[in-house]
Amino acid sequence: MSGTIIDGKKNAIDLRRRIKSATNNLKSKYGITPGLAVVLVGNDPASEIYVRNKGIQTKEAGMESLEFRLAEDASEDNLLKKVEELNNDNSVNGILVQFPVPKHMSQQKIIETILPLKDVDGLHPVNAGYLASGLKGMVPCTPQGAALLIKETLGELSGLHAVVVGRSNLVGKPIAQLLLKENCTVTICHSRTKDLKETCLSADILVAAVGIPELIKEDWVKPGATVIDVGINRLDAPEKGPGKTKLVGDVDYNGAIKIASSITPVPGGVGPMTIACLLLNTLIATCAQNNIEFSELGF
């Protein structure tokens, strides 16, 4: 028997359609168009692709997309000034600085300069604190997308044992918080965890957010578990031709799908949900900044 494939692409399209409709409601009721500003430093090819896709999907959702580019050797001060400018610009509701930034810039300093209310990446310590306290705030996009897929797949999560492998501020910790909020019993594993395989085997929901290709093997998965693979690893794929590459997750997909009841593929699983959740955060931020109840938008 084979597990069900959780279709992140389809879920993301549905979510973006609902966001577009709510954005239209915001425009017609209040005459407000959400604005998302993305700042890119340098010209890392992968970041260029992410930023381009974000711009396209932002416009498709009926929002204003603003793009700002700084040279690779721009000073940190220059970038922080740009962020301050966007903080003070009323037409900008969400600010995202595309990471990674060049080594001479402090990622943490940048995160802390963005106004928490415009921090659509959800990385500001104020927003991390809200999430840890079970309060409303901006939730990081990829974990939010992963949690939406889990809810969509399983419905009620109360009492289930969720094992999250990875404890980064960007992915592992926020996913753990979101699952805790859903009344899961949550175990967080990391590079120093002993008995990783045994812990994974006890998971009803197994989330992998590590960055090691196919770390989680078929015999680490409990029969009937839901497996969420956040990992994105680019590997050489000589079988596809010279110089070709392929994406794989942190889970041995072909093995795990035989054991799991449902599983996200890579690509096409959690990945597509990230930009959709960025747009959702932009809409939520716009409402919060204008004292509008989000529920009024019929989302």
Give me the residues that bind ligand NAD (CB under 6 A), please.
Answer: 142, 165-168, 170-172, 189-191, 193, 196, 209-212, 230-233, 270-271, 274
Which CB sits closer to ligand NAD, 117 or 165?
A: 165
Which CB sits closer to ligand NAD, 26 or 51?
A: 51
Give the nearest distance from C-beta 239 to ligand NAD in angstroms: 22
Which CB sits closer to ligand NAD, 51 or 297?
A: 51
Give the nearest distance from C-beta 267 to ligand NAD in angstroms: 9
Residue among 178, 163, 170 nearest 208 (CA): 163
Question: Residue 294 burial (CB < 10 Å; 0-12/13-18/19+)?
Answer: middle
- The C-alpha atoms of residue 119 and residue 102 are separated, in whole angstroms, by 20
- The C-alpha atoms of residue 74 and residue 61 are separated, in whole angstroms, by 31
Give the nearest distance from C-beta 7 to ligand NAD in angstroms: 15
Give the nearest distance from C-beta 217 to ligand NAD in angstroms: 12
Tell me whether strands 245-248 and 233-236 are parallel, antiparallel or unpaired.
Answer: antiparallel
Which CB sits closer to ligand NAD, 186 or 196?
A: 196
* Known catalytic membership, residue 108: no
Distance between alpha carbon 207 and the CA centroid of its chain, in Å?
13
* Known catalytic membership, residue 77: no
Distance (Å) of CA 218 to CA 33, 255, 256, 257, 285: 47, 5, 4, 8, 41
* Known catalytic membership, residue 107: no
Q: Which of 119, 121, 229, 252 is catalytic?
A: 121
Task: Point out the residue whose Cβ comes nearest to ligand NAD.
Answer: 168
Q: Which of 98, 119, 177, 229 is catalytic?
A: 98
Catalytic residues: 54, 98, 121
